[in-house]
Structure 1
């Protein structure tokens, strides 16, 4: 029955796609402006949104979230779980070709997943497959099994979270073991790369979804300044932009030559504290910081109110919203906590926002003013995003400010950044009780049971305050009126294969 239901769902989705093909024109070049420069295009080492949004159009996953965030079959037509919950078996679509013309088989799935979980690669997304102890087995050309050391009940959804789990042709790897230009089965192929200043996606003529993509190519270049990016759109230099300056939302919506659309965003903005440095190793200091900031003021100034203040990682737009909020503004209690920790006279700290993400700089400025009220002097050290990533990974910070996005499941809010030893746990946070809960949350499929588990994990995390959560902003994209078919999604995914140009 499960296999019949999944097959029917896939046929329904593809029939809708076929209808779109008939009503949209093919051809043309879309000029797109990114917010930030991409880093490595290797899906197993990448961590930035700029990179993964390129890979969204090049690589494909076994499962996929549609525009309504329903999990649907993609490269896998069906899947099933063993009675003990440890083994997931996926049945692949036949006849799918990589962009180089070779058929994608179970051997390619095994190779891609083995490389993702290889400790020498050190991917922060290895947890999506259960970690280094997971066994990938080829059953036949179109059947592959994934056996984890402990139950991962959400594995099919985890495979759809981002393109770290995309299937890559092994011939993508160069002689030194790196992937600079991944070869996938997706609707586009990376045809030109000029460092981090220009990248061209060209149509994959052998793409398995007939009639897609519509576009001949997409030319991507980063324009890191919000105003310059908007002027490029309004002046006709580009057709589509990654995001806008939030203070200009009303003006852009009033411009007949610009289309602006928004959606609730599965994300949060925050600043993370380095628990391996004093005084941030003291929970009282972290809690004092958390109750010294006015999140509504930060939301209004940093993202001009197109956001929702939060005291934890989840906002009201996700089914994983928890209303635990112990950090209302309380300067007197914050001063008491600082005094108890031995910092009655305050201290100096640096917050590191990222150039090109203007909301982080504005947010740091508000936090600077607010923490001064309790004697904490904040120095703002904004750096280019490439340096920001390097310093974050090396632990070279007091505090770093940015956002996490594309958070499609509870484990993305909790396990990914905060479980002890995880690659993306940059703060050094560790709490055995929290770890036990998030490990258990991965083993359970029932929503209500998982909700109760993560509700307790959320309470522990918010109380321990390795992250100071600020707000959850809306997803905002803008494009010219001749761009048709782009969908603004809660997971922030940039999917160009349904886009066409009305000439």
Structure 2
């Protein structure tokens, strides 16, 4: 059902490659890079804690991607390649990793990177007192040795097959100056192409070109990220020239902007995946029949049209669709209101007996629209669903940190690495397991995957994890969402801006024509 038909028929109130379609619609007036200028970016989200070890939000990571570099990174095919390390090697037994660092790498405070900084950064991330969201990456680390200023040797006490790929994300692999942890949350210091200047919380972040960047200075003199979660306001700023660039063009306006031909449009699939979360400490959701019933209430295709104007594709799995571990055999449960009512009654919840509060954040307007659509379907299934709208900061405080919610919705970016995805989100002790899921079978599988060296065997384990998640309906998977950027014709280098993970934006090779 197309969105127009859906809107007309419902009583609800509404307020394959990783990187495809990336060619801008308009050629820049000048094809050669130009140095100088300040790019004003309309950022669709609000930054939070600026400590790259502690932050769990892609909104903040998207900015800090330009401030920090990791010891290793990935290429367009998501293969791990050197970054701040000039080279790396793994021992035959898989227990020792040796990193040879690039000489002459400068931090924004003027100090030169050495092995002591790497040791400090890894140990800080691993330390429980730090509160790092990627602490478990270092669980198997036995020792970190620095035989000379440009060599780091990490020894594990057991095989951790995804160790290198987990370091390829800034969260775990970012290298900070030794002793800088206390200031990272407010004034981050890294070795990236841009230096942090200031932040007005909830308004904007200013970055300045770092001329001593090891990979050559950026073209832009400055980037100002203006935080504008409201899609229409963001688009208006672009069209009036107040903004040079925005991410997340409003889904209902992408076709119009492309047809007008006045702005550059970059699109890719996928940007992220969305799912409905059920708090497993809430008694009804401790029963798999209730969780499956809630899954059956939702028509994912219609919800995609209604909330996202079809800008994505439904999925029963959160794995990247190009990943070897993607379980293509999973198919979404079709909407079955009568079946859901029967399953709820079997679980002891007859019509009218369940009152559920759905907490949705205004940081993602399409989450609010999704929740509003769900109200009517849940009413039809005999469930009283009410919506509580939260700011992004309140959502993070209540749902993420305090786990004070019954039902919510969230999207995740940059989780291309399956250990990062499945261990962090679904293992009982995973740092991103804010739903309090505790499934011994998933725990065992995600631990087994970590010590399984053969990639094909490891992929099969993750497929089994996906099957278990689906069977138990621990969360309700919805869709992959498309990514989009709109820009003035004066912006060059847009073909370089999207990180291979589909989420982060890198301004190193972006420029402004006069």
Which residue of structure 1 aligns with residue 471 of structure 2? 463
Which residue of structure 1 aligns with residue 8 of structure 2? none
SS of aligned partner of 2:130 = coil
**CA distance in structure 1 between the aligned counterparts of 2:86 and 2:54, rounded to whole angstroms:** 27
Which residue of structure 2 aligns with residue 369 of structure 1? 376
Q: Work out which of the residue numbers 487, 495, 498 in structure 1 matches 2:506.
A: 495
Which residue of structure 1 aligns with residue 15 of structure 2? none
1:67 is displaced (CA, Å) by 3.9
Which residue of structure 2 aligns with residue 192 of structure 1? 198
Which residue of structure 2 aligns with residue 49 of structure 1? 58
Dislocated runs of 4+, deviation >6 Å: none
2:58, 2:503 within 8 Å by CA — same for their partners in 1? Answer: no
2:362, 2:368 within 8 Å by CA — same for their partners in 1? Answer: yes
**CA distance in structure 1 between the aligned counterparts of 2:289 and 2:126, rounded to whole angstroms:** 37
1:319 is displaced (CA, Å) by 3.5
2:68, 2:170 within 8 Å by CA — same for their partners in 1? Answer: no
Alignment of 1:343-492 (within 5 A): 343-345=349-351, 346-392=353-399, 393-486=401-494, 487-489=497-499, 490-492=501-503
Which residue of structure 1 aligns with residue 108 of structure 2? 99
Q: Which has the higher contact order (CA 8 A, sep 6+)?
A: 2
SS of aligned partner of 1:248 = helix
**CA distance in structure 2 between the aligned counterparts of 1:68 and 1:314, rounded to whole angstroms:** 15
SS of aligned partner of 1:497 = coil
1:122, 1:423 within 8 Å by CA — same for their partners in 2? Answer: no
Instruction: Provide the TM-score with structure 1 as the length reference.
Output: 0.91
1:315 is displaced (CA, Å) by 5.3
Q: Work out which of the residue numbers 317, 337, 340 in structure 2 matches 1:334.
A: 340
1:134 is displaced (CA, Å) by 4.8
List per-residue Cα deviations over 1:449-492 (Å, max 9, x = no partner).
11111111111111222211111111111111111112334521
SS of aligned partner of 1:271 = strand
Which residue of structure 2 aligns with residue 60 of structure 1? 69
SS of aligned partner of 2:87 = strand
- Does 344-353 or 102-111 show the bigger shift? 344-353
List per-residue Cα deviations over 1:209-262 (Å, max 9, x = no partner).
13x311101011101110000000010001111211101111111233311111
2:118 is the counterpart of 1:113: no
- Does 141-150 or 111-120 show the bigger shift? 141-150
SS of aligned partner of 2:152 = strand
1:170 is displaced (CA, Å) by 3.0
**CA distance in structure 2 between the aligned counterparts of 1:213 and 1:66, rounded to whole angstroms:** 19
Which residue of structure 2 aligns with residue 204 of structure 1? 210
List per-residue Cα deviations over 1:10-41 (Å, max 9, x = no partner).
xxxxxxxxxxxx93111111001111211110
SS of aligned partner of 1:420 = coil
1:338 is displaced (CA, Å) by 0.7
SS of aligned partner of 1:381 = strand
**CA distance in structure 2 between the aligned counterparts of 1:292 and 1:315, rounded to whole angstroms:** 25
1:360, 1:401 within 8 Å by CA — same for their partners in 2? Answer: yes
Q: 1:28 to 1:445 in 2, by over 3 A?
A: farther
SS of aligned partner of 2:441 = helix
1:136, 1:144 within 8 Å by CA — same for their partners in 2? Answer: yes
1:122 is displaced (CA, Å) by 2.0
SS of aligned partner of 1:414 = helix
**CA distance in structure 2 between the aligned counterparts of 1:270 and 1:217, rounded to whole angstroms:** 36
SS of aligned partner of 2:238 = helix
SS of aligned partner of 1:120 = helix
**CA distance in structure 1 between the aligned counterparts of 2:386 and 2:491, rounded to whole angstroms:** 43
Q: 1:484 to 1:178 in 2, by over 3 A?
A: closer
- Does 318-327 or 393-402 show the bigger shift? 318-327
Q: 1:298 to 1:149 in 2, by over 3 A?
A: farther
2:318 is the counterpart of 1:313: yes
